[in-house]
Structure 1
Amino acid sequence: MTANWEKQEGNTGVLSVEVSSERFDNALDEAFKKVVKQVNVPGFRKGRVPRQIFEQRFGVESLYQDAIDLVLPEAYTQAVNEAGIEPVDQPDISIDQVEKGSALKFTATVTVKPEVELGDYKGLEVEAQPVEVTDEEVDQEIEATREKHADLIAIEDGEVAKGDTVVMDFEGFVDGEAFEGGKAENYSLEIGSGQFIPGFEDQLVGAKQGEDAEVNVEFPEDYHSEDLAGKPALFKVKVHDIKRKDLPELDDEFAKDVNEEFESFADLKKDIREKLEKTKKDEADMAKKDSLVEQATENATIEVPSAMVETEKDRMLEEFSQRLQAQGMTMDMYYQFAQTDEEGMKAQFSGDAEKRVRMNLTLEAISEKEDIQVSDEAVEEEIEKMAEMYGRPADEIKQILMMQGGTDQLKADLRIRKAIDLLAEEAVEKPAE
């Protein structure tokens, strides 16, 4: 087999391939063995028609497409490897010569991974991010922790106040007619949580247990249901129970309830401060790296093929679908809720998809220029981290990776991370303005 690659304008080129006559004739033999099993010829049992009789009756040309299907995938892959190119889309194949006893010739118009002309990526300036934790932030986190550990106590005498949880029945009406999805019984709602339409929760403040109330609201113009968007609605509400948070005292016992390893409230406070400091440092590190990657990408010159953007949009849609599944929702449910469809979602991803492609191409080019390598030991360490994160055995993580094509993608991801680390190491940090 011979292959010739001719680069054309942009990121496309033509791969001309010639498969030997011997290889193609062998494929014709395989095609005949496959096809003859389905052929009925009078005087012969099914699958027993001699090759000569078959070709006289149907013509050898009837075997060409099956033989091409057998030869072409392997020949194309071999030609791509010989030419040293990286296709990023399905090729446009044209058969130029097909004949028994002769070489099979075909051309493939291929979109390939673009070349990246790197600009400055070392010594980039980045603004320092504040990482100090204030006493006020610690107090806010303590209060949030206190809220989480509060008990809900039912109150019989009293009115609904902000922060209370109301157990209620409700039914909504638009233009005097009940609408679908606007009814529930024994529904628990924390007043002030913002779960319901603006104005709904505020109008329940002051209501009493066992009381009937009417709530008048207006659906937002951008509400997900076109039938309700922008329309006034009346909700008839029956308040069954009012539950109020009983906040624990901020003492040593409270600290032990939060974490049995704590001996005092001071331990809890120290732990919260340390966690806030770590979070701020991680966020600052991430913001720094994001800024550097964006700068390096802006400094690079890349002609991004549309095929790569489309592939990235597909990947982003799959990631979004997986996140929904983790929340117990399907894409069809989301499409109905958001009044959109697959094409609409991909259109929303367009800008971010191209940005991600540009960033990845830039980082790959940096890792190649800097000859960044990832050892097998580093891959093993990452698998161990993944196993710990997902609570699964490392061997199981390896099996999953092998089913997905091996550890090459993981190794590529680690190279990208090392390229980002290099940007951070070489950056110049300037004080925040």
Structure 2
Amino acid sequence: MVAELAVVTEPLPKSQVGMTIEVPAELVDATYERVLNRLASRAKIEGFRPGRAPRQLIEARIGPAALREEVVEAIVPEVLQQAMRDESIDPIDNPDVEVLELERGRPARLKATITVMPQVTLGDVSNLALPDTPAVEVTDQMLERRLDDVREPLAEVTPVEREVRTGDVAVIDVEVEADGQVVESESRKAMEAELKEGVLLPELLAALPGTFVDEQREVTVKFPDDYSEPKLAAREGTIRVTVRGIKEKVLPELNDELAKQLSGGKHETLEAYREAIRSDLEEAAKAMSRMAREQALVKALVDSSQVEVPDALVEKELATQLESMERSLGRQGLRLDRYFEYVGKTVPQWAADERPDAEARLKVDLVLDEFAKRERIEPSDEEVDRYIDEQAVKDEELSGRIPEVKKSQTARRYFESRLRRLKVLDRLAEVGGVREPAKP
């Protein structure tokens, strides 16, 4: 369809464009004729062969309202596509269209609301207000903790007759209760639990030290929203623990022989091994500081930039997040509707809670994508191939599928996106003049 359309556009909030379209009467009449011809060819009217019934009889049988609806369905998509092409408008969602006028012999008028990618106004990258990022100092305490960690697998665990102490392995019976009902899937008998941060819940870690065999402790816990057991997710529960046994962990003595064993023969002395561990910790600390600086720089750029995230993008982000959650629950043998029932939420309530975070993520993506366009950052095919090779060295599963991954358009887009983001962060740090972290 090629017709002279009269189009008037206006910017609307939330990255939308309003469009009023006037369609020539000739095109309206031609569409009526085309629709009638199509309907006539399929009409079955007694006394007439298909396609031979008089036009007036067919129109009377269809009715004016139904005929108009058929014409609307035929003319609106064509007119809208041509109008958007003429005005160079690229929608990111299905436009909302209202037919204002449509009848034979007269121009038609349509009104469309179209969501487009938002305009991003970048902040001044060279003048971003960045907080000081202190360097992470590797202390002797951190070094000793790391040396304890590497000796953990070689520790001897010996039963003792005394109270529970931090660092012990306690043999415990556990009963979990929520809403007055015992949750059998979370209850355990004779379970071994190490009293160590990151292993036990903080409430239990605080309550168990000082407990003797056959004594019981009870704590109240608020389980996180994403807890693996849906019956407890986002709920308050009671955990009752009875101590049945106590074991002490004794780490092997640090000496030259152990240092050689732990390092796989790379270091002959304990002193050399200590220095190697300290060096590893310092490299990790530098990486953490670098990440903190990058995050601060990205936040400063996003905060100083202007972009209005359209609702359509937020809805797509939430839909993707919900689909991912459903797949994750499915792998655990759970249904999405049952999960929401357990946590006491509906999908709309969940979406309302997640909406601010989804919008914030999209704003970061939009700002960094705009920065990439401005700086003309686009990885070449050769760079993507090299990046896949580099990642394969770190990923055993990927290393066996390199040719397959390089041929897959989906996989290439994934690695290309990751590489682009890394290049954006490097360029952002360069342009933004990020300072090295201040030493304490």
TM over 0.5: yes
SS in 1 for 2:125: coil
Q: 2:207 aligns with which of 179, 191, 202?
A: 202
- The answer to whether the 8 A contact 2:219-2:240 is kept is no
Instruction: Report 1:392-431 matches (<5 A).
Output: 392=398, 393-398=401-406, 401-402=409-410, 407=413, 414-429=419-434
* Deviation sequence 1:114-169 (CA, Å, 0-9, x none): 2223331124354354155334322221212222x134535265554332223333
Q: Is residue 2:366 matched to residue 1:356?
A: no
* Deviation sequence 1:92-118 (CA, Å, 0-9, x none): 023467789999985531022222233
SS in 1 for 2:215: strand
What is the aligned partner in structure 1 of residue 12 from structure 2?
Answer: 9
- The answer to whether the 8 A contact 1:97-1:106 is kept is yes
What is the aligned partner in structure 2 of residue 214 from structure 1?
Answer: 216
Q: CA deviation at 1:247?
A: 1.8
Equivalent AA in structure 2 for residue 355 of structure 1:
A
Q: Which moved more, 1:164-173 or 1:59-68?
A: 59-68
SS in 2 for 1:244: strand
Equivalent AA in structure 2 for residue 260 of structure 1:
G
Structure 2 CA distance for aligned equivalents of residues 22 and 384 of structure 1: 61
Instruction: Report 1:195-274 matches (<5 A).
Output: 195-196=200-201, 198=203, 202-203=207-208, 205-208=210-213, 212-215=214-217, 217-220=218-221, 235=240, 237=242, 239=244, 241-255=245-259, 258=262, 260=264, 262-264=266-268, 265=270, 268-274=273-279
Q: Is residue 2:167 matched to residue 1:166?
A: no
Instruction: Report 1:16-415 matches (<5 A).
Output: 16=21, 50-53=50-53, 56=57, 59=62, 80-95=84-99, 107-124=111-128, 126=130, 127-147=132-152, 149-151=153-155, 153-155=157-159, 157=161, 159-171=163-175, 179-181=182-184, 183-193=187-197, 195-196=200-201, 198=203, 202-203=207-208, 205-208=210-213, 212-215=214-217, 217-220=218-221, 235=240, 237=242, 239=244, 241-255=245-259, 258=262, 260=264, 262-264=266-268, 265=270, 268-317=273-322, 335=340, 338-385=343-390, 391-392=397-398, 393-398=401-406, 401-402=409-410, 407=413, 414-415=419-420
The number of residue pairs the alignment matches comes to 415
* Deviation sequence 1:284-332 (CA, Å, 0-9, x none): 2222222222222222233333333333344455566677778887755
Q: 1:159 to 1:308 in 2, by over 3 A?
A: same
- The answer to whether the 8 A contact 2:129-2:300 is kept is no
Equivalent AA in structure 2 for residue 219 of structure 1:
T
Structure 2 CA distance for aligned equivalents of residues 200 and 133 of structure 1: 26
Equivalent AA in structure 2 for residue 190 of structure 1:
E
Structure 2 CA distance for aligned equivalents of residues 250 and 160 of structure 1: 25
Equivalent AA in structure 2 for residue 119 of structure 1:
G
Q: 1:102 to 1:206 in 2, by over 3 A?
A: same
Equivalent AA in structure 2 for residue 169 of structure 1:
D
SS in 2 for 1:302: coil
Equivalent AA in structure 2 for residue 8 of structure 1:
P
Q: 1:266 to 1:13 in 2, by over 3 A?
A: same
